[in-house]
Copies of this chain bind each other. A is one copy, B any other.
Amino acid sequence: MKTRRIQNLLAAALVGALIFTTTIAHAQEPLPSWNDGPTKQSITDFVAKVTKEGSPDFVPVAERIATFDNDGTLWCEQPMYFQLFFALDRVKTLAPQHPEWKTKEPFASLLKGDVKGALAGGEHAILEIIVATHAGMTTAEFEKIVADWIATAKHPKFKRPYTECIYQPMVELLAYLRANGFKTFIVSGGGIEFMRPWTEKVYGIPPEQVVGSSIKTKYEMRDGKPVLMRLPEMNFIDDKAGKPVGINSHIGRRPIAAFGNSDGDQQMLEWTQAGSGARLMMLVHHDDAAREFAYGAESKIGTFSDALMAETKHEGWTVISMKDDWKTIFPLEKN
């Protein structure tokens, strides 16, 4: 009997040790939603070499800057940029105060749900929509409008909040880089004040580390209280050749790692690569029609042109295949 008890105790201890070891292994696995392979390896190899003191590739913590595009890189951008869904909902909300929109483009088309027709007016139409939906209020008022919308609106295809249409593998990548001393920044063509109300909660990226497009603001006194009014005038477009300009203006240091998914990110990756020392440039490729969307060269949103693909190969940048490299696309998803 005594021997049996000892055996039982030993067995229990062994099982316990196994569970313990597995848990530890799981906790230490930094990128659980990434499949093993050369893509994941290129990330872990890069991080290992820039963080290893004494290595020729070592980078001091203060210089570990990583920049991420948002639309199509950190969250979904189809069937259209989420900020456009926001603008569309704003137009519907504001329509009763603007009876003239019933016959005035681009609003007439938008109110009929014809986004393509509304955008046929090109840049002028887009500016009109932005002015009508993003300007004419204080920064604090706009922040609340965005926060209320993002808390309730849902993606038409995935039927979940937009903030849950983020890519789980990229969220893990952000956390992994930060755990290795990196400062993570968003550098997006999207509106800076459209992102800031939720990026800290959703990505762990605080407002001061968000770079984006902006409209002008003006300091004013309203009822004896200072406010910043959002003016109907573009200030900065943080896209394509604007991304290195935005990075220089906001961060003032060159990133050592940059992540994008489209032609809009080409210059950010070039600018990152042109620094000295170890660099990591990666582009998410949307090749997963079953779990998300498949699009590339021919797409109007998130164009990944043949020219960009050629440059990617020529420069040795890494393409992330959503289909092959990611176990999971969205958080909390059952695969």
Contact = CB atoms under 8 A, between A and B. Distances in A.
A270 B226 contact: yes
Nearest to A228: B248
A251 B208 contact: yes
A259 B226 CA distance: 18
Given A183-B208, A244-B228, A270-B226, A252 B219 contact: no
Contacts of A192: 249, 252
A219 B268 CA distance: 10
A62 B252 contact: no
22 contacts: A62-B200, A62-B206, A192-B249, A193-B252, A196-B252, A207-B251, A207-B253, A208-B208, A208-B209, A208-B252, A210-B252, A214-B249, A217-B248, A217-B249, A218-B245, A219-B242, A219-B244, A219-B271, A225-B274, A226-B267, A228-B245, A235-B249
A244 B267 contact: no
A241 interface: yes
A207 B252 contact: yes
A156 B208 CA distance: 37
Interface string A212-244: 001001110000011010000001000001101
- 10 shortest interchain CB distances as A-B pairs: A207-B252, A219-B241, A208-B251, A196-B252, A219-B244, A226-B270, A226-B274, A207-B253, A226-B271, A217-B245
